[in-house]
Structure 1
Amino acid sequence: MKNRLKLFFYNLPMMGKLLIFLITCSLVPLLVISIYSYTSARNQLLEQAYENMNHMNQQINNNISGQLENFHQISGMLYTNATLKAYLTQAYEKDIDFVEAYGYINDLFFGLMAANSNVDGITVYVLNDTIPTDGTFIKYLYDEKAAPAWVRELDRTYGNVVYTGITLNDKKERVFSLARIMNFNSLNYPYGVLTLSVKEEYLYSMIRQESEGKSIFVIDEKGSILSTKDKSLISKGLGEVLEVEIPMEDTDGRLVMDVRGKRSLVVFNQMDQGWKTVSIVPLDDILRETKLASSRVLLIAGISFILALILILFISRYFTGRIKNLTGQIALIEKEDFSRKIDIKGNDEIGRLSQAFNRMTDKLNILINELYKKEIARRDTELYALQSQINPHFLYNTLSVISSLAIRKGDEEISGIINHLSSFYKTSLNKGMRYITVENELDITRHYLAIQHMRFRDHFRESYEVDETLFPCRTLKLVLQPFIENAINHAVCEREEPLHIIIRLYSEEDRICFEVEDDGAGIEEEKMERLLSGQPEAGYGIYNVNERIQLAYGADYGVVIHSCVGKGTNVKITIPL
């Protein structure tokens, strides 16, 4: 399948290839960028909308909780009022007896309502039938017509505050009530039920300003709506109104779900009293600007694609015509017709290609004629390479003749030095190979030292500390000799006692280490820098060894020199094991 696609692409005309490139490099990235931009903007706007709605809900909850706490304090003040309790539990036999009680109750309740204008009404449902009811502040608990149905649900609240759902007061206004059993200092013997009524409109006043562009509901712990903009929905279940159940097991959360047929963001937050504030915004309202911007981008992309398509059709026709002209002339060259020239005007890539092609045809005849000369030169080079292989053998044979003549003359010393020299070159040249064994490298060193002993006699001595298990390993040739030569040339003539040279061979982790250590005069720091930098006046030997090792094995290997003036020099050479 892959090969078929390749073949199909190769056989497409240039116009088809350009169309594929346009779609691949222009349309597809543009669509991906548009989708990515829309998705990123959508997620960012949803996150921002959630943060705003969550903050708004928390603010609403704080306001409502603060007011409910105020009502709770008012009820607590009445609950713990011992004088009020005495008036409510006293047995009244004469009318004059309860005049004083009503005077106190009226002053107290009217005073609280005047100080807290949000309180619509205060009522105590009493069990004491000796105190007459006024139908406003004092009502009988056992009067089923006067007492609301929820009053009897307070039997097991033990004096704690509860909040009722929305009910209608005497003026047919929607109110919610705070209620608690009055059993101060006598929990098992309640003497009444205290209720504080607050208009629903006051509750809505705390969410009115935030209701623009969104639906906000304050619901109780049972899911019944306590307050919202549409008053006809009050006291109904939130799931019934929204036509979908919203899972709100957690105290706070957010959901994206279908509400009344619209995809919406739902954010809910719970108050300490168990009520919740629920905010709902359709996603279309949040993403309206983003969708509009995405539509504009897609429209611009479509127009750009059509313009690019027209431009590609024009360009492909222009270039294919010029390329056809070029391929026609190339076909003539294929037939060995070098006389024709390509006439394509312009200085663009195809124009320069045609000019270069014309120059190429002019040179082809010259190159064909020169081919024979190059062939002859190549053969001469091969012949020289074969001849150069003979020169080392000639050198070895000549040294052998000189050694034989020295023996005949009875000069064993000359014969020995010539034999060492012959072995030195035979091993070091190594038939032109770069690498030799570690054992051969030490042999080269021994032959070199033997030659130097004949020159300097007993002015130096050497010792070896070598690990013979490393002998079969391979190394670059001539890595030791330059440093031994440097030690002899710079230290032997500068001292009276013999120079001691120690040659070491050992392994260290994954490295082969050569060491040349002497007890000579040492090297000054400035001179050492010249040796390592390869300056002509300092010589190239040490610099050459370091460069060859790093070129062959890498910068982690090479030469390290430690020297102390008057004490000696230590050279460490490392190569891979």
Structure 2
Amino acid sequence: MRPPGSRVFLPFGVKLFISYLVLIIVPIFLFGYIANTILVNSYRAQMNSNLAGTLKQIRDNIAYKMEDTQRLSDLLYYDESMPLELMRYEEGWVSYQTTKKLLIPKFRQVTDSSNLRIWMSIYLKNGTLPEIYNADPQGTDPLTRGNHWDLYHLNRIENKPWFNAFPPEEYGKTVVWRQVEDDSMFGRISLLRRLVDTRDPMELETIGFIRISVYLSEILQSVDAGKIGSGSMLSVSGEGGRRMYASGESGLLLASELGSKAAIDPDRYTILEETLPELGWKLAAYVPNSVVAQDTRKVNLLTLVICLLSVGLISIVAFGVSRFFSRRVSKVVSVLQRFQQGDFHKRIHYRGNDEFTIIAGSLNKLGEQTEHLIQEVYVTNLKKKEAELETLQAQINPHFLYNTLSSISRLAKFGQVEKQHQMVMNLAKFYRLSLNEGQTVISIYHEIEQVQAYIDIQQVKYGERMEVHFDVDPQIVKYMTVKLILQPFIENALQHAWRGDRIYIRVVGRMDDGSGSIVFRIIDDGSGMTRERVEELSGSGSAMSGLGAGKQRKGYGIRNVNDRIKLYFGSDYGVSLYSRQGIGTCVTIRIPVQRRSRGEIRESTRNRIGRTG
């Protein structure tokens, strides 16, 4: 049998709640699975339908642009006045007038009417009309010059294979889209069409030839794989499966270039095709099955979220029901846990008359009795700590007085009566400031006054051998501090830090914005201390108070000030030392920013002493 301590704690309310959850989750997720399967199948069918519709729309957009280009050729093909003029084989003025008044305006009208960039080449059978064209350097694309036209004689192309292979004329129907000449090199495609004499539809005579070249990318601009999803590809294939244009994933483009669908894994892609009727080309869409799977995952996620929300809402109801039954047990456990943490103020209030009422009464009585015992111990410790604090405060004055009287005694011994008198008067001033109506908490301003009074006493003794400089921020003098926290360290420097016959002491006071405290530093250029001695004086607890008989007097002032600051303001504040032998010592004193009255600080100190006791 396992010991009770090794078992996992599971409250009564949790057990009840878990049983409700099991009854809720199973049917909800079963229903969600069935609904999700139906939604996914429906989504796949809808997606295929949308893709087919998109492909058809792309095909229609391509057909529209091609028809728009063909309508430009219709402006010349169905112009009844043009055959009359082109059949006049008269040179000179007649030829000039025909070209200037009819042909040039007509050709400009055609090129200006185009929404695409076009290069229209007109080949005329009538050799009496002049050729008008731009002599583009070899290897350049004439279409880069924008919409323009060129006029040539038909004999320039009569021996071209593509011209000789042009199908017989059917009135209004014979239009061919093909890449001829350098179209393939520059990514163009050309609309090819005869100009015929339409006056006799039964015997159509060729009077010229039209070639309108456009960029394949503009005709196929709507072939954009982004319309069918990321990772997809749209491909336009010409005769023999040669790829004419493609848009989409680079890996698919390469596979399409290498051959056809055989190079593309059919298990990874769904392939849909449409025929471009004017060109006889194939428009194919390759949609990754992963894209479809990604979208179906969204449906799965939506179904899961709905199931989870349903579980969550019903779980709230189940939680309320289970909590109703377990609430009384939870109250008892809560009070016991608070007692365990040391808080005996917690009480239970039950309505009714049952076993829980008896338990509540017993726990309330136990809490009252325990709290009463703690209060008795607290008051006893509070009085003890206050007595210790007052003793420390009282000890600092005899310590200073002892040192000062020793100095007065030495002055009397050497017969320096005037200095002896001045030191006694300064001592009286110091104690007048120190008494401060019996208050132990004073303003920093008065603390500086006390230090200055002490320096005046020592100035009588040391004269120009001692120099003290104050660098105190005027903004901090309005705040409160425990009195006599600076003087013991100046006294300690004058007693033990001499190196030669002169000493310099600097007193710095600043507001530390980072920690929200006030920092004093007493810096001297004296003999300094060894690292072992600094560690001995800077130790906490027993280390600071456990000095040997010979060293205890030297460390007394540090220990006294440190203890008083910690008793008043807490363990975050106090004294720290830094010293280098032969260089000097820096004493750092840190106190909080206090603007409260002395009574409030005293009450705060009482509370702190009570907690530490």
TM-score, normalized by length of structure 1?
0.38
Larger relative contact order, structure 1 or 2 (CA cutoff 8 Å, min sep 6): 2
TM-score, normalized by length of structure 2?
0.36
